[in-house]
Each structure stands twice: as C-alpha cells, then as structure tokens.
A = this chain, B = another copy of it.
Amino acid sequence: MGSVPTLSDVARKAGVSLATVDRVINGRPNVKARTTERVRAAMAELDYRPDPLAAGLARRKRYRFVYLLPVGTNAFMMDLANQIGGMSNWLSSNRASAETVFADVFEPGTLARAIDEIDRAVDGAAIIALDHPEVRAAVDRLVGDGVPVVTLISDAPASRRSRFIGIDNPSAGRSAGALMGRFSGGRTGSVAVLVGSLSLRDHVDRCFGFSQAIEREFPRLKILPVRETRDDRSLAQRETVELLQANDDLVGLYNAGGGNVGVAKAICAINGHNRPVVIAHELTPRSIEALKDGSYDAVLAQNPGHEARSAARILLASANGTSVIEEQERIRIDIFIRENLPA
C-alpha cells in the first residue's frame, strides 16, 4: 500500500521467519537454495529496500575509522585535520568515529611502518599515501587484513586501496599552464616551476601537465629547470629570490608544491610592476592573503573539507553496506582568483 514494505512484509509473503530473510539479505550462510529464491522473489515483488538506519541500530556496532596524515605544520594539512574534527558530530550520529594519526609521509619506509601500525580492528582507513613500492605493500597488507582503505590527496595507484579521493594532478598542472599563458598577456620569457619534491607523484604530475600546456600552446614561454623546496617555507623563499635574481626575463612562477609562506614573502618584496604571474596550490591563510594583495594571480585548490567528508562517507558506506552518491564524491580542481574567494 502507501507505506514502505518492511522485513516482516517480506517474511510473511515468503512464508519464512525474519531471521531467514535477514540471512538472505545479508548473504549469511545456511539457507536452502529454494528458500533463498522464495525470499528473493518476495523482495522483488514488494520492491523491498532494507532500512539501513534500523539495521545500524540493531547491529549495535560502532564504526571506527582512522585518518593517516603527514606530521608538520603544513597549513593545508592542518585545515584537513580540522575538517576531520568538524565531522565528529556527524560521525557520531552515524555510530561512527574518526581518529587521526600522524606520520612522516615524505619517507616511504616511515610511512609504510605507520601503515603497518594501524590497528587492524578499525573499520576503515584513509591514508595520504605515496607512490612507492614499500607504501603500496603496506597498504596491501592492511587491506589483506580486512581493513578497507581509501587513499586521500596523494595516491598509491597500484595498491589495493578501493579508491583515490583527490584531484587529477596532471589536469591541475595543465590548468595552471593555461592560466599562466593567458595571464601573461603575450609576454615572452622564462617561467619557473617549484615543487616540494620530485619524488612526490602529485607534484611531478602537476609539473608534467604544466609543461605540456605551456609547450603546446605558449611556445613564447620557456620553462626553467624545476627546483625543489621540500615544502619548506625558508627554502621556498630562498629559491624564489634566487629565481627572481637570476632571470630578468622571468614572466611567471608556478609553485606546484607547498611553502607558500616563503614564496609569497619573496614575491611581495619586489616592485609591483616587475612581478611575474604567480600561480600556486591550495587555499591557505597565506595564499588567500597573496591573492588579495595581488602577489598571487591564481590558486588551484582541492577542498579539504570535501575530501575529509568524502572519505568518511565512502568508508562508512563500505562498513554498513549503504551506497554512495557518485557525483558527490568527485573532487574538483578549484580555480581561485581574488574575485571568487569564499567569503
């Protein structure tokens, strides 16, 4: 009738008990094939859909998830950690909770060890990974031990993680290249590229996309050899200053890594008229300020709140057998200029 069919309706229609229907729905063993079929038929006929909220209540299980983040004071990662904290009410009203652990992500061995140390009793893990055999192996061990894993922001593509939650970095690099070309208004000269490390997949992918876009569409721009900053603000500042001094034809600077505090400081120090076009990554207090005061021209970003929540929704869905709205879990490459900064 009007009202939604329940387990009891199915049981009655199939002429079996609640427990049996429960067994077939949840794929538990010990049901005769013919019985299974009768139940399936009844479910289909009634268009029965289990109520995940009631199931959660009855299961009296609470789900525990863990997020593995890099140590350090990186503004973006701190933002991410805050966003995870901000979900705690939502999680607990879904009988779940999240714990955050920190590890040195730059060193594969250390990261692998941190992954190995994750409590095998958790119901899911979101890991900021590294594309490295040791890390992949550690992820695979964790998955092998029955813990669903998603990678966050930085992927370990060949591993057994169920998903990667993050942006398409080559596309982000191409976007940076296209903006660089168009913002530099026809000028000819060189363009500098900074990364945290050339052994970080995401940074390298961004470089790759950037070069591709520049070479194909803006041959008037010449890309200088890439420099590494280790995402360190002082190092980033020093590199930027050197770059500015060594290249009087510098038209643009693309910071594909972290260290915006240092980069912005170096840019701010020079005369407004000679400033290169600067494009960087992630919305942080310093990069926002740089967009506002004109030292940065554009910032490419991924939304850490979205990523944190997406990981939680996906892990929760895999824990309690609910489903996910695919469209909602696609992480976009956000482009920010001064004018569309969030209020």
The chain A residues found within 8 Å of chain B, CB to CB, are 4, 49, 51-54, 56-57, 62, 83, 86-87, 89-90, 92-95, 168, 171-172, 174-175, 177-179, 182-183, 185-186, 209, 213, 297, 300, 303, 305-306, 309, 322-323, 325, 327-328, 330, 332-340, 342-343
Residues of B within 8 Å of A338, CB to CB, are: 178
- CB of A339 within 8 A of CB of B182, answer no
Residue of B nearest to A97 (CB): B4
- CB of B332 within 8 A of CB of A53, answer no
Q: With A and B bound together, what is the CA distance between A166 and B278 in angstroms?
A: 30
- CB of B182 within 8 A of CB of A183, answer yes
- CB of A305 within 8 A of CB of B328, answer yes
Residues of B within 8 Å of A54, CB to CB, are: 57
Q: With A and B bound together, what is the CA distance between A171 and B337 in angstroms?
A: 11
Partner pick for A186 among B53, B179, B186, B300, CB 8 A cutoff: B186
- CB of A339 within 8 A of CB of B185, answer no
Residue of B nearest to A51 (CB): B93
- CB of B87 within 8 A of CB of A325, answer yes
Q: With A and B bound together, what is the CA distance between A323 and B93 in angstroms?
A: 10
- CB of A175 within 8 A of CB of B337, answer yes
Q: With A and B bound together, what is the CA distance between A213 and B175 in angstroms?
A: 23
Residues of B within 8 Å of A51, CB to CB, are: 57, 93
Q: With A and B bound together, what is the CA distance between A333 and B336 in angstroms?
A: 9
- CB of A53 within 8 A of CB of B342, answer no
Residues of B within 8 Å of A83, CB to CB, are: 327
Residues of B within 8 Å of A323, CB to CB, are: 89
Partner pick for A178 among B4, B87, B337, B342, CB 8 A cutoff: B337
Residues of B within 8 Å of A94, CB to CB, are: 53
Partner pick for A339 among B52, B213, B309, B343, CB 8 A cutoff: B213
Partner pick for A342 among B89, B306, B332, CB 8 A cutoff: B332
Residues of B within 8 Å of A209, CB to CB, are: 339
Apart from A86-B327, A185-B186, A186-B186: 8 A-B pairs, beta carbons within 8 A: A51-B57, A53-B95, A86-B325, A172-B340, A182-B183, A332-B342, A334-B335, A335-B337
Partner pick for A171 among B328, B333, B339, CB 8 A cutoff: B339
Q: With A and B bound together, what is the CA distance between A49 and B178 in angstroms?
A: 50
In the complex, how many angstroms separate the beta carbon of A311 from the nearest chain B beta carbon? 14
13 A-B residue pairs with Cβ-Cβ distance under 8 Å, sorted by A, are A49-B92, A52-B93, A57-B57, A89-B323, A90-B325, A179-B337, A182-B183, A303-B332, A305-B328, A306-B328, A309-B325, A309-B328, A335-B340
Q: With A and B bound together, what is the CA distance between A52 and B95 in angstroms?
A: 10
Partner pick for A333 among B168, B177, B178, B340, CB 8 A cutoff: B340
- CB of B57 within 8 A of CB of A322, answer no
Residues of B within 8 Å of A95, CB to CB, are: 53
